[in-house]
Amino acid sequence: MSGSGGGGSGGGPGYSSPCDTLRFDSQLSSPQAPVVATLRPGDVLLVAVVQMKGHVVVQVLSHGQPAGGLTGPEATQLRNCIDGGHNYTATVLQVNGGQVRVRVEHA
């Protein structure tokens, strides 16, 4: 007899994977000045995994234009979750000159 084992993406009512609950605040890396100039607190941006110069990176997009990237341990987990079919948004918390702080969470 084979058992059902653990893991997988199933689960009963109330089940949530780490990807469902992934949420963190971060500063955008390599902010793009023309896009950043249009951002306001409360704006909801798209988070996407893209190929850039031969590397896979996590980018935050405003109306399809890159506002900046996300780096660090959370970005690695985020990339894995996006690759697994999850979608995320980044809500602008603060814009201070060219620096942008966002809250990333499951869409």
Q: The pTM is what?
A: 0.83
Q: Is 14 helix (H, G, I), strand (E, B) or coil?
A: coil
Q: Each residue of 34-77: pLDDT tens digit?
A: 999 999 999 999 999 999 889 899 999 999 999 999 998 999 99
Q: What is the DSSP string of 27-81?
A: EPBS--HHHHTT--TT-EEEEEEEEETTEEEEEEEETTEEEEEE-SHHHHHHHHH
Q: Is the pLDDT of residue 11 over 90?
A: no
Residue % of the chain over a pLDDT of 70: 86
- Answer whether 68's CB lies under 8 Å from 95's CB: no
Three-class SS of residue 95? strand
| Residue 15, pLDDT score | 63
Total residues found in the chain within this entry: 107
